[in-house]
Structure 1
Amino acid sequence: MTELQDRYGREFHYLRLSITDACNFKCQYCLPDGYQRSGKSRFLSVDEIGRVIRAFATVGTRKIRITGGEPTLRKDFDQVIELAANTPGIDTVATTTNGYRLPENAHRWRQLGLSQINVSLDSLDEKLFRQITGDGRQQKVLDGIEAALDADYHKVKINVVLLNELNAHQLPNFLEYIRRRPVDIRFIELMETGLGQEYFQRHHVSGMVIKQQLLAQGWTEDPRGPVDGPAQNFSHPDYQGRIGLIMPYAKDFCATCNRLRVSAIGKLHLCLFTECGVELRDLLGHDDHQAALVARLHQQLKQKTETHQLHQGLTGVTQHLASIGG
């Protein structure tokens, strides 16, 4: 079957699939007031999730990232891992988590088929971690990262949202952390969302600041692979780990886009910053709808724009990244 491709020749082999928008942390840049439940949530069932994954697999998707919110809050998280891992055509099953359940579960999730794991860790300083995330379980997160390394995941990454006046000065701490750990640390530029301009303007700092520091210290940029995402990755012979920079405001950021998103309530998002999602749920109730679901995916790809409009201040209606899985 024809693989997913847009008008600009970009191919889409990577699906970020949210299974909940609930989260138990209160990160300043995402859910500063904590998760606010709006009515009775109707998140995708496991059967509906399975139909989404199978449809994407038939049109070339090879990697599934299970996201949230905090995806491990779902009681059937294990079942979702197994389902994705056992879907023909899916080569990689990943997740992004705040890490609070990792110490006890990292090995079991690896055995179920989870092969890559990203852990959000915005500071190695305990007090600053608590300030940014609204949660005091930093040590549990750190223990979870060690458990993931021990469980021999193909990749273990740490996500750090770069925040001026908070953690932007902590590059030396993170570099020391990966000196003897095979972990990728990815600094992600703060992106403006519906939380408003004030927080963004106060705390946004360009990833170019980190890039210049890395180059000055002897780090070199890695060649981009054919299926790599938007991160610019850097290596150094004295460090086991790598540094990645995700800079959505950089020139040509969208040229390498290779991912689509499905929200926890079954909407297709062609971009992280769009005005609305495309309804898929009406086609997720029965296996007989798979052909129509695939046809809708192909049709909607024709509407994908060449680039986001963040530079024009157009952030879409997304109030926080937890709502569609970041």
Structure 2
Amino acid sequence: MGNDRERNVALEHKVEPLQDRFGRVARKLRVSVTDRCNFRCDFCMPVKPVWLPKSEILTYEEIARIARILARMGVTKIRLSGGEPLMRRDLDILVAMLREIPEVRTIAMTTNGFYLAEMAERLKRAGLDSVTVSLHSLKPERYDEVVGRKGVFERVMEGLKVAQEVGLNPVKVNVVMLRGCNDDEISDFVELARKSNLTVRFIEYMPFDGRKFWRPELLVPGEEVVRTIESVHPLVPMPREQGSTARVYRFADGIGGEIGIITSMTSPFCGDCDRIRLTADGKIVPCMFSRDEYDVKSLLRSGATDEEIASFIRDAFYRKFAGVESLLREHKTIAYVRPMYQLGG
């Protein structure tokens, strides 16, 4: 009964949905809880990353306050990311705080998996629903080379196993495809999906590596991945959820998990994008392909009311960039935008 009353009160005070100038409505919040990471994937970071001072990082209370404000404007799904989110101490405390927001239906996390085995149960108890693990090779030596650390592959695989055992659902794997690096492992990842009941998502390489110029020669188009898979295992497309970043397929023979294809570059999905991002240092980022960002932390720390913060966010989101599609139409290619570790994906 108490939860029902809280939900009714929240709905009574709910304001108009958060909408941009193109009519897109925000339903999902991506929160970077830290810019720090213990891996050094070169498609995510520059050679020498510069970390934010800890005093500039939002507190859990500040993150939860922004989440509550956004929830009243229609945001129902939250994903925590980084950097590496599990480098932030006691992340389960933040999860529990977010779980108390009546309008929030799902809380997910994207992680490199290094700390997942030891944290999965705590996170699940706190209210985490699902987890996505970035896993860019299934060959241990190659994996070490990609992430810039030695001897960590088995630890990450154990994290995936424990995540399933404690009941996080779904458990997904993200694979950034790179020409000449891991494009020979498509069939291996397909077998992982079939044998372990995981959702494996193949992601096109994007201009977020922190280098001056994007390297389009590294891109493996999603359609190529689909053709490669279907040459062995026929796929059946699933209905696309509005705002989804992935085209999802199941195997025609009904075995195993699912396959996701994220074509951010060759077939963008900007038209119904429903995401808004909050960086670790308190910047609202309406679109990851735009350099536009809006400092909400200064309002948080200067005594602004929830209404003032909501108005600020509404104005920032209204200006949301049309998307990567317009860049590709005008320029055919893209210079890098910002390092992914500063944004959180």
Question: TM over 0.5: same fold?
Answer: yes
Equivalence map 1:221-300=2 (5 Å): 221-226=237-242, 228-236=243-251, 237-285=253-301, 289-300=305-316
Offset at residue 316 of structure 1 (A): 6.1
Match of 1:60 in 2: 74
C-alpha distance in 2 between matches for 1:191 and 1:138? 24
- Give the unaligned 5+ runs of structure 2: 1-14
Taking the aligned partners of 2:175 and 2:48, their CA distance within structure 1 comes to 19
Counterpart residue number, 2:37: 23
**C-alpha distance in structure 1 between counterparts of 2:304 and 2:236, whole Å:** 51
Deviations 1:72-127 (A, max 9, x none): 11113121111111112111111111111111121121011000101011011101
Structure-2 separation of matches of 1:106 and 1:53 = 22
Alignment check: 8 A CA contact 2:34 2:88 kept: yes
Residue equivalent to 1:161: 176
1:255, distance to aligned residue in structure 2 (A): 1.3
CA 1:39–1:282 in 2, change beyond 3 Å: closer, same or farther?
closer
Describe the shift of the 1:271–1:316 C-alpha distance in structure 2 as closer, same or farther (beyond 3 A). Answer: farther
2:50 corresponds to which of 36, 46, 49: 36
RMSD (CA atoms): 1.9
Q: Which residue of 1 aligns with 2:185?
A: 170
Q: Is residue 2:125 matched to residue 1:111?
A: yes
Structure 1 residues 92-103: aligned runs within 5 Å: 92-103=106-117
| Sequence identity (%) | 31
Give the SS at the match of 1:250. coil
Q: Is the 1:20–1:71 Cα contact (8 Å) retained in structure 2?
A: yes
Preserved contact between residue 289 and residue 323 of structure 2 (Cα < 8 Å): no
Residue in structure 2 matching 1:79, options 66, 79, 93:
93
Tell me the distance in 1 between the aligned counterparts of 2:341 and 2:52: 14
Which residue number corresponds to residue 104 of structure 2? 90
Deviates more, 1:294-303 or 1:307-316: 307-316
Alpha-carbon displacement from aligned partner over 1:268-305 (angstroms, at most 9, x marks no partner): 11111212311111221377511011112222222113
Q: Which amino acid aligns with 1:324?
A: L
Deviation, structure 1 residue 249: 1.7
Aligned to 1:218: 234
Quote how far apart the aligned CAs of 1:314 are: 4.1
Unpaired segments ≥5 residues, structure 1:
none
Deviation, 1:32, is: 5.3
SS in 1 for 2:196: coil
Q: In structure 2, the residue corresponding to 1:93 is in which secondary structure?
A: strand
Instruction: Call closer, same or farther: CA 1:287–1:111 in 2, change over 3 Å.
Output: farther
Task: Decide whether aligned partners of structure 1 residues 126 and 251 sit closer, same or farther in structure 2, where only a CA change above 3 A counts.
Answer: closer
The CA distance in 2 between the partners of 1:287 and 1:234, in whole Å, is 48
The correspondence of residues 190-205 of structure 1 with structure 2, limited to 5 A, is 190-193=205-208, 194-197=210-213, 200-205=215-220
Correspondence for 1:11 = 25
Deviation at 1:196, TM superposition (A): 3.2
1:166-186 deviations in Å (ceiling 9; x for gaps):
111211111111213221111
Q: 263-272 vs 204-213, which deviates more?
A: 204-213
Task: Please say if 1:125 is aligned against 2:125.
Answer: no
TM-score (norm 2): 0.88
Structure 1 CA distance for aligned equivalents of residues 21 and 336 of structure 2: 22
Distance of aligned partners of 1:108 and 1:27 in 2 relative to their CA distance in 1, 3 Å threshold: same
Secondary structure of 1:180's match? helix
Structure 1 stretch 1-10 or stretch 131-140: which is displaced more? 1-10
Question: How many residue pairs align between the two structures?
Answer: 323
* Aligned counterpart, 1:307: 323
Q: How many Å apart are 1:67 and its aligned residue?
A: 0.9
2:140 alignment partner AA:
E
Q: Quick check: 51-60 or 29-38, which moved more? A: 29-38
The answer to whether the 8 Å contact 2:18/2:73 transfers is yes
Question: Residues 273 and 316 from structure 1, CA distance in 2 versus in 1: closer, same or farther, beyond 3 angstroms?
Answer: farther
